[in-house]
C-alpha cells in the first residue's frame, strides 16, 4: 500500500494546565524545599537546599525516597543511624512531612507576579485552566482556598492523590484534561518548573513549557532574584534553560507571564501540521 491515513489536529489551543509551587504560586518553590530540609534535619541527617530540590515535582513520598537513594545522603544516614535508609524510614518521614508542610503552606499561596493577568489572557484566547501538583489532596485543601482568596482559581485541580502515579507519569495532566473536557492532547499546553513537569507533559502528548526564573531550578524567592544583576541572573538561568530544553521542553520562559504570547505560535505550528511529540 502506497498511502496510509494520518489524522492531524490543526485547530486552536483549548486548555493550559499549570503546576502550582514555583509556577503559579510560591515564587522559587520555597515551601517544599524548606520542609524537606527541616525533615531530614529532624532525623539528624543534614541536606542542602540544592539537594532537597533535586527530585522536586514528584509525589512527595517519591521525592523523599529519591533523596534517600542519593549516595551522599545515604552515607550520611548510615553514619548517623548505623544502617542505610529503608522503605520504613521513607514511610515514617513522609508521615512527618505532611504536617510540617500543612503548617506553613498558606503562607506560600501568593500568586507569582503576572499569573492573574496570564490567566485572563488564556481566557480571552478561549482556553480553560487546569492544574496538577505533586502535593496531595489534603495539601491542596489548604493551598487552593488560600490562593483563591488572592485571586487564583483554576477550573480543575488534580493532586497526586487522584491518580495511580505522579510525575513523570502523564496521569495528572490527562485527568485534568478530562475534567476540563478538552481533547485531543495536542490542543493542550502543560506548564511547569521542573524536569518531571516536562516529562509529564510530553508523556501526555501535550505542548510543554518550562518556567525557569520563578521555579525550583533557580530556587530563589522574588526578593532574592531582584537582588541579582541582570548579568548574574542570566548566567544562572542559562544552565537551567539548557537542562529543560534537553529534557524536551518546547519552550522555556522566565515565568508564567511569558506564556500567553506562545499560544499563537503553538497554534501556527499546529496549523502547519506539527505535533508536540514530533510525530
The active-site residue, picked from 19, 62, 89, 197, is: 19
Bond prior to 133 in cis (omega within 30° of 0) = no
Is the CB of residue 276 less than 8 Å from the CB of residue 251?
A: no
Q: What is the per-residue pLDDT across 138-150, written as a single tens digit (0 to 9) for each?
A: 999 999 999 999 9
pLDDT at 7 over 90: no
Torsion on CA atoms 125, 150, 135, 68, rounded to nearest 10: 120
Q: What's the rounded mean pLDDT across residues 59-72?
A: 92
d(C-alpha 181, C-alpha 224), whole Å: 39
1: pLDDT strictly greater than 80 = no
Which listed residue (14, 26, 60, 190) is catalytic?
A: 60
- What is the structure's pLDDT at 16? 98
Reported as a single tens digit per residue, the pLDDT across 39-65 is 999 999 999 988 988 887 778 889 899
Instruction: Reply yes or no on domain 15-28+109-271 having CATH 3.90.1150.10.
Output: no
Q: What is the pLDDT of residues 155-169, one digit of tens each?
A: 999 999 999 999 999
**The architecture CATH gives domain 31-107:** Orthogonal Bundle (1.10)
Per residue in 79-126, pLDDT (tens digit) is 999 999 999 999 999 999 989 989 989 999 999 999 999 999 999 999
Cα separations in angstroms, 169 against 157, 164, 183, 201:
17, 9, 18, 9
Whether 60 is catalytic is yes
Cα–Cα distance, 102 to 98 (Å, whole number) = 6
Domain residue limits, the chain: 15-28+109-271, 31-107
Give the per-residue pLDDT at 210: 97
The pTM for the full model equals 0.87
Amino acid at each position: 500500500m502506497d498511502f496510509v491515513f494520518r489524522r492531524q489536529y490543526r485547530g486552536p489551543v483549548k486548555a493550559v494546565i499549570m503546576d502550582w509551587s514555583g509556577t503559579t504560586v510560591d515564587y522559587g518553590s520555597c515551601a517544599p524545599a524548606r520542609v524537606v530540609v527541616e525533615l531530614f534535619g529532624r532525623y539528624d541527617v543534614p541536606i542542602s537546599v540544592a539537594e532537597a530540590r533535586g527530585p522536586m515535582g514528584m509525589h512527595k513520598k517519591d521525592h523523599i525516597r529519591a533523596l534517600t537513594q542519593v549516595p551522599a545522603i545515604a552515607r550520611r544516614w548510615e553514619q548517623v543511624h548505623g544502617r542505610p535508609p529503608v522503605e520504613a524510614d521513607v514511610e515514617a518521614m513522609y508521615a512527618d512531612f505532611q504536617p510540617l508542610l500543612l503548617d506553613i503552606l498558606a503562607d506560600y499561596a501568593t500568586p507569582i507576579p503576572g499569573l492573574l493577568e496570564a490567566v485572563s489572557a488564556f481566557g480571552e484566547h478561549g482556553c480553560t485552566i487546569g492544574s496538577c501538583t505533586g502535593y496531595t489532596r489534603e495539601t491542596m485543601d489548604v493551598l487552593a482556598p488560600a490562593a483563591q482568596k488572592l485571586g487564583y482559581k483554576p477550573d480543575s485541580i488534580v493532586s497526586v492523590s487522584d491518580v495511580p502515579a505522579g510525575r513523570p507519569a502523564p496521569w495528572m495532566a490527562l485527568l485534568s484534561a478530562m475534567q476540563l473536557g478538552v481533547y485531543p492532547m495536542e490542543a493542550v499546553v502543560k506548564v511547569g518548573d521542573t524536569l518531571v513537569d516536562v516529562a509529564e507533559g510530553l508523556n501526555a502528548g501535550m505542548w510543554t513549557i518550562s518556567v525557569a526564573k520563578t521555579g525550583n531550578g533557580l530556587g530563589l524567592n522574588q526578593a532574592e532574584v531582584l537582588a541579582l544583576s541582570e548579568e548574574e541572573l542570566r548566567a544562572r538561568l542559562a544552565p537551567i534553560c539548557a537542562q529543560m530544553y534537553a529534557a524536551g521542553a518546547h519552550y522555556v520562559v522566565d515565568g508564567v507571564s511569558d506564556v500567553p504570547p506562545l499560544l499563537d505560535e503553538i497554534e501556527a505550528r499546529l496549523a502547519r501540521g506539527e505535533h508536540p511529540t514530533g510525530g
